Amino acid sequence: MVNYILRRLGYAVILTVLVSFVGFVIIKLPPGDFLTQKLEQLRARGDRSAEAQIEALRAKYGLDKPFMEQYTTWAVGFLKGDFGESFAYERPVRDLLGERLWLTVILSVATLIVVWALAIPLGVYSAVRQYSLGDQIITTISFIGLGMPGFLLALLILYFAIVVLNQDVLGLFSPQYQDAPWSIGKVLDLLQHLWVPAIISAVTGAGGLIRIMRGNLLDTLGQPFIEAARARGLKNRDVIWKHGVRMAINPLIVILGSEALPGIISGNALVSIVLNLPTIGPLFVQALRQLDMYLAGTCLVIFTILLMLGNLLSDLMLAWLDPRIRLE
């Protein structure tokens, strides 16, 4: 087991290096870089010292050096905890991410809990009461959630909240609390804003999970061991949860590891853009568009690490839950 974990971690390190390298190459692929874009802007404004300024910046960020050297400098710095500097913000990437990190985590964990707390019971209900009115309603809503992109739902809810309810729900805080220190009022204000992303994530995120839970549980409930458990005199509820759900939950564990953990950091980027949420997702999208390569590269590497960690964790959890799975 220890061997297995060590080997998986070894692969993860190799893969992270590869992903960071390829990511770096792809960010570099478009002609020009952040500074050539900036140069154009300065020239357009008629700044005479533009060339000199840019050259100074180029030297400062090491952009005049060969590609491999740029990469290794950044990668070595990364290991020391120095993720380089963002061109657009002219601040260290570390500080930029740090600011947004914990709001992102709060938001993601909150929605994760809402989504899972909704999806599992609804999926179970849907399977146990197959073709009942409740099942039909849940199924319809989960197909809407599966089919509609989150940002579209975000726009609809925004329209509803602002025009109908006349409530400001953009961002995570009202303007007066934006930079205020933490207080009960600020927390209440946060909760007032949090419901919008929570509903959107619940509908879009739970839809798929409900369908998976329902399908798996229906398969499991048809198995002979379910009938055998009932013949032993178990309560229907215990048959469903201790034998049915217990066996049907495996695919959800895989999803929890491979989608939910990386999602905690990135958040839903498009929804965050629409709702103007200060999470890491929009920062990453913007960095890619502006060729802000250290910021983009750092986000990419962090997502990769979390994805692999999530996969490893879900594999370990599966092995712990199901004795038939052995890790070697």
**Residue closer to another protein (CB basis): 30 or 233:** 233
With binding defined as CB under 8 A, does residue 228 bind another protein? yes
Q: How far is the CB of 242 from another protein (least distance, A)?
A: 8
**Residue closer to another protein (CB basis): 93 or 124:** 124
Q: How far is the CB of 246 from another protein (least distance, A)?
A: 6
Q: How far is the CB of 135 from another protein (least distance, A)?
A: 14
With binding defined as CB under 8 A, does residue 229 bind another protein? yes
Q: Which of the stretches 32-40, 233-241, 281-289, 290-298 binds another protein when contact is defined by CB under 8 A? A: 233-241
**Residue closer to another protein (CB basis): 7 or 235:** 235
**Residue closer to another protein (CB basis): 99 or 322:** 322
Token pair of 167 as six digits: 């409530």
Q: Of 185, 184, 156, 158, which is closest to residue 171 (Cα–Cα)?
A: 158
With binding defined as CB under 8 A, does residue 225 bind another protein? yes
**Residue closer to another protein (CB basis): 213 or 247:** 247
Mutual orientation of helices 293-321 and 280-289 as an angle, nearest 10°?
140
Binding mask 172-191 for another protein (x = CB under 8 A): --------------------
With binding defined as CB under 8 A, does residue 133 bind another protein? no
Mutual orientation of helices 93-128 and 293-321 as an angle, nearest 10°?
40
Instruction: Please identify which residue in 62, 227, 276, 289 interacts with another protein, judged by CB under 8 A.
Output: 227
Instruction: Please identify which residue in 7, 129, 246, 289 interacts with another protein, judged by CB under 8 A.
Output: 246
The number of residues that bind another protein (CB under 8 A) is 20
Phi, psi angle pair for 180, to nearest 5° = -75, 155
Token pair of 6 as six digits: 């060590």
Whole-angstrom distance, CA of residue 99 vs CA of residue 69: 29
Phi, psi angle pair for 91, to nearest 5° = -140, 160
Contact 275, 153 (CB under 8 A): no
Unique residue bearing structure tokens 């609804």: 122
With binding defined as CB under 8 A, does residue 223 bind another protein? yes
Instruction: Please identify which residue in 57, 146, 218, 234 interacts with another protein, judged by CB under 8 A.
Output: 234
Whole-angstrom distance, CA of residue 54 vs CA of residue 67: 18
With binding defined as CB under 8 A, does residue 236 bind another protein? yes
Q: Which of the stretches 101-109, 155-163, 204-212, 226-234 binds another protein when contact is defined by CB under 8 A? A: 226-234
Instruction: Please identify which residue in 217, 247, 248, 312 interacts with another protein, judged by CB under 8 A.
Output: 247
Task: Restricting to residues 299-328, name those near another protein by CB under 8 A.
Answer: 321-324
**Residues in contact with another protein by the rule CB under 8 A:** 223-225, 227-236, 243, 246-247, 321-324
